[in-house]
Structure 1
Amino acid sequence: MKYTIALQWSEADGCFVVFLPDFEDVMQPVTHGDSYEDALKNAREVLEMLIESSRSEGKPLPPVKPTFQPV
């Protein structure tokens, strides 16, 4: 499955914060990084943990939401 990872610079925190909009029941932002690359790496790790946790608990994974609607 291909989930959306949203990275945004936060002036208040002085880092990139990561949101996983498909995972509505998880506190957002889910992680951060001092650089874009670190934030993306951390996002992938959190995403893997969320998927693994859902599967081990027998919970369904959230559906992938379309980010953009075709014109």
Structure 2
Amino acid sequence: RVGEGVRGKVAVREGNGGRVLMMLATWPTEVSGDVVQSVDTLLAGVRPLPEPSVAVRATPRAPEPEPGDPR
């Protein structure tokens, strides 16, 4: 139980590069068991995203001005 009238679960998973992934789910206590099963399925599916490529991680640069551009 998280609080009065609320239930919840926390999923903690190992992420990439020594990071930790944490997800919190809460729902009213009066919901059906289907909701709890859906939450369990959702939390079980939490996975880290693939590491971005070097090109994606590079800081974007402003485009070079074209001839006649006052920038």
Hey, which of these two has a bigger chunk of strand by percent? Answer: 2
TM-score by length of 2: 0.38
TM-score by length of 1: 0.38
Which is greater in Rg? 2
